[in-house]
Amino acid sequence: MAAKTSRLSRFNNLEFILGALLTVVICLAVLLSDVLFPGGAEKIDLMARLAKPFTSAAHPLGTDPLGRDVLARVVAGGKISLLVGFTSVIGAVVFGVIVGLLFTGTLAIVALMAWKGGNERRDVTFLASAAGLGGVCTALATLV
């Protein structure tokens, strides 16, 4: 007999805790980038051009040939990545809800027509095939 595992057992997993903590830290760094890097990613420090990583507290990941802080630029790129990620998730949820409501309504119409005694075979066939389109959309979405 298989042992029952608690839903909270994942919180006892060290990898899960470290991954969640790292994700939170990265998201906070991206969201607080204006506070952490007041000059932004484009601030130039000519005296620190081509600074090596981990040699300066002012530029932990070093600087590029123009003297821009690499960490500030990575965090600025993270801001764009979070924006794209959240936008695509919200778009997928909105699309999924709309498609789900449309095809759920189609199934309700088929059931209503059958209950009312509708013998229009063509209408029922069309609506039933339209109801199956939701599964096709889901399958295509998982492939992409």
In a domain, 3, yes or no: no
DSSP-assigned letters across all residues of 37-99: -TT-TT-B-GGGTTPPTTS-SSSTT-B-TT-BBHHHHHHHHHHHHHHHHHHHHHHHHHHHHHH
Domain that holds residue 101: 11-143
**Do the Cβ atoms of 113 and 123 come closer than 8 Å?**
yes
Integer Cα distance of 37 and 54 in angstroms: 17
In a domain, 128, yes or no: yes
User: Tokens representing 115?
Assistant: 């209950």
pLDDT-derived band at 120 (thresholds 50, 70, 90) equals low
**pTM higher than 0.85 for the full model?**
no
In a domain, 81, yes or no: yes
In a domain, 5, yes or no: no
pLDDT-derived band at 19 (thresholds 50, 70, 90) equals very high
In a domain, 2, yes or no: no
Number of structural domains, the chain? 1
Residues in the chain: 144
